[in-house]
Amino acid sequence: MDEKIKVIIDTDPGVDDAIALMYAMNCGKFDIKLITSAGGNGPIEQITENAIFLTELFNQDIPVAQGAKSPLVRPANYAVGAQGKNGFGKFKYNAKKLKHKPLSLEACDAIYEVLKNSEEKISIIALGPMTNLAKLLQKHPDCKKKIKEIIFESGTKEKIYGVPYKSFNVGYDPEAAEAVFKSGVKLVMVPMELGHFAYLNHADIKRFKKANKIGKIYAKMFAGYRDYHVGDLGAAVHDVCAIYFLSHPELIKTEQGHIEIDYYKDESHDFGYINTDYTKKPNATICVDIDIRMFKYELFDILENKLNV
């Protein structure tokens, strides 16, 4: 049996984060050392409870640490319009019934402890804004020698309609992303285009609903999930693509490029975005395509055959 890949997942569940965590916890490929909550899809307390709910839903004994309450320098601006009031679309659960609490350490310190005590390098998968990772690198710069890579979901490979695009995970805290990009740590960018290729159509969502009790939960999540690019076609699942890169790199096409944070400002906008430049020395692996047939096969195999619930 292949040795499991050791990972830390920094996430802001979130509907597409919830799909990513379902995959990560049940595909059998990962040894998840820690889950940390990232601000973004709602207040950090809500997002932390969502992460704990998912570990309990899948009977996983994985510690959860609560992350930063707000971006490094900007006010928090949550994505409730896309994810719903509690982050899970139209699905609700009773937080009073949760059996676990977050660790006493803040996320940046909890990540550092896991890295420091590991004999080998660990991959970090960032499914939300990168505030926790920026704080980690600023507070504990020696952590870099223990980070194998940071795989993050955000940004677009190209400009949209010729202008910069404010993807949420970077736009929520661009200063944090800038600190991560400048750290020298190996980077893998999973741009939003992959989620727009690998979206779940209406037939897929019906298949979730018919699969089992877990599928019904996710179908309720999808009912209140609004990805503005996929629109009425179904539900984009950007974050699963970041997990899938690590479990099946042979099924994702990549190229080398240079990424950096730039800032766009006019009378009504002030945001940061990822600028991809292929004329400069590469500093990142950029995912550009995915085997959608195998991606969906793997996802439904887990949902219908591998869930231990």
- Catalytic: 238? yes
**Residue by residue, what is the 3-state secondary structure of 153-205?**
ECCCCCCECCECCCCHHHHHCHHHHHHHHCCCCCEEEECHHHHHHCCEEHHHH
| Residue 86, CA atoms < 13 Å, CB-side half-sphere | 14
CA distance 18 to 163: 31
Catalytic residue among 238, 248, 258, 269: 238
Judge contact between 244 and 21, C-beta under 8 A: no
Q: Six-digit token pair at 119?
A: 């004999």
Token representation of residue 120: 């080998």
What is the C-alpha separation between 187 and 124, in angstroms, rounded? 10
DSSP count for the chain of H helices, then E strands: 12, 11
What is the distance between the alpha carbons of residues 106 and 110, in angstroms, rounded to a whole number?
6
Type of residue at 175: E
Residue type, 37: S
Q: Is the peptide bond before 231 cis (omega within 30 degrees of 0)?
A: no
Closest CA to 255 of 183, 193, 304, 205: 193
Q: Which residues are catalytic?
A: 238
